[in-house]
Structure 1
Amino acid sequence: MPRKLKVKLYSTIIRPVLLYEAEVWTMGKEQERILETTEMRMLRRIKGVTLRERERSTDIRRELGVSDINEKVKEIRMRWYGHVKRREEGHPAKEAMESIVPGRRPRGRPNKRWRENVEDMSHFGVRPEETVERETWRRKTRAADPARRDQQP
């Protein structure tokens, strides 16, 4: 099977399955590492190289035209955030996103909240007020897909 077809199958079938409902995930470093490891095992297999050949992941991704899966998760999360922020007032999803649960959190290091993952918008250089302009928001937050980057005006 040609490599281009393998990459196309990976991008259209396997990756969406890996990222199912990624917009609501709260990922820690361990989950990010597991996701990236899984992706790189598949991409190395597509390219036909082993870990012993010590080829950099960035070089493999660039050659196959695939972006980092963790960047894609951030993009998906930002797309969902913009979608919910544009909803009308009183919509259940918007109320749930903007609600603050009363009470104290348990002792120890708290788990990351979804809002803490999303509010790091400096990665994309956007502000919450920009969600109103849908096209601008999508253009600024769609940075993780090399194939689309070439098609943008």
Structure 2
Amino acid sequence: MASGILCDHKIPLRLKGKFYRTAIRLEMLYGSEYWAMNYTHEQKMGVAEMRMLRWMCGYTKMDKIRNEHIREKIVVAPTDEKMRETHLRWLGHVLRRLVEAPFRRVDFRQSSQHKRGMGRPKKTWWITCSSSRN
């Protein structure tokens, strides 16, 4: 069903963009509030989004049309901005809960009792949210 709407040349681009924002992007970002996003995740989501947007407009990479121009035509904001919004929205829910709430105790745990392995520590959800606020 979605490909029939997005591929049809008779449907205006703004309507395709509205369908993309209401149906497809919501599915792409489902559960992203809990993800500890790193640069590669954000990059892969952005690439997948731009491939879909180019496909909706009927453009290919060979046409050499800038991403910003495509986003303006369809009126779609970048996925990484929307992911930051969802992180901050979920952070607001977490901060309003009591400190004794189970998921708040898990999310704000400072250190474990075991020895950490070599290399840089894994990026946590809390670090992702604090970087989104800045």
State the TM bucket, normalised to the shorter chain.
Answer: 0.7 to 0.9
Deviates more, 1:54-63 or 1:13-22: 54-63
Calculate percent identity across the aligned residue pairs: 35
> Highest relative contact order (Cα 8 Å, sep 6+), 1 or 2?
2
Unpaired runs of at least 5, structure 1: 123-153
Aligned to 1:14: 24
Task: Give secondary structure in 2 for the equivalent of 1:119.
Answer: helix
CA distance in 2: counterparts of 1:88 and 1:114, whole angstroms = 18
Provide Cα deviations, 1:71-92, integer angstroms capped at 9, x if missing partner. 1111100100011101123111
Report the count of equivalent residues.
122
Letter in 2 for 1:83: H
CA distance in 2: counterparts of 1:40 and 1:98, whole angstroms = 35
The 4+ residue runs of structure 1 with deviation greater than 3 A are: none
TM-score of the superposition, structure 2-length normalised?
0.83
CA distance in 2: counterparts of 1:12 and 1:25, whole angstroms = 21
Aligned to 1:33: 43
Unpaired runs of at least 5, structure 2: 1-10
Aligned to 2:69: 59
CA distance in 2: counterparts of 1:106 and 1:27, whole angstroms = 21
- Which protein is bigger by CA-based radius of gyration? 2
CA distance in 2: counterparts of 1:112 and 1:90, whole angstroms = 24
Q: Say what the alpha-carbon RMSD is for the aligned residues.
A: 1.4
Aligned to 2:111: 101
TM-score of the superposition, structure 1-length normalised?
0.73
